[in-house]
């Protein structure tokens, strides 16, 4: 099952790369911004509950899709870029086994304990 989940996440990461290719930005932006959503880990400085909340906001694919669609609706490439990066980053993290966090601590995820 773990391999099936990884294959699914690889496909979603590929979708993120494709969506980025539709935007008017140089490819180096994708590489530079891909790890930007990890800024959500800063919440862990204020405890596990806050950390899990902020981490999950920046790593939730539903939020990423909503941000992207707002960008499409209002024809705002920068917002589309933000949604694309959030989505691709979340998929990349899940390929590596990092899931959404529980309030117990950083190593407790919806994919299992790290």
Q: Which two tokens stand for residue 78?
A: 């920068």
- Split at pLDDT 50, 70, 90, the class of 39 is very high
In the predicted model, what is the mean pLDDT of residues 78-102? 93
- pTM for the model stands at 0.91
Name the helix (H) or strand (E) containing 107: strand 105-109
pLDDT computed for residue 5 by the predictor? 87
**Residue 109: pLDDT above 80?**
no
Q: How many CB atoms lie within 10 A of CB 4?
A: 8
pLDDT computed for residue 113 by the predictor? 64
pLDDT computed for residue 21 by the predictor? 97
Name the helix (H) or strand (E) containing 98: none
In the predicted model, what is the mean pLDDT of residues 7-17? 97
pLDDT computed for residue 69 by the predictor? 98
């Amino acid at each position: 099952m773990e391999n099936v989940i990884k294959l699914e996440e690889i496909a979603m990461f590929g979708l993120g790369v494709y969506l980025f290719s539709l935007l008017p930005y140089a490819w180096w932006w994708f590489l530079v911004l891909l790890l930007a959503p990890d800024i959500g880990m800063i919440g862990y400085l204020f405890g596990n509950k806050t950390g899990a909340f902020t981490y999950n906001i920046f790593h939730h694919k539903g939020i990423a899709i909503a941000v992207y669609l707002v960008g499409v609706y209002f024809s705002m490439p920068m917002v589309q870029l933000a949604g694309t990066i959030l989505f691709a980053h979340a998929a990349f993290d899940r390929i590596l086994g990092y899931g959404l966090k529980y309030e117990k601590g950083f190593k407790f995820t919806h994919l299992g304990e790290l």
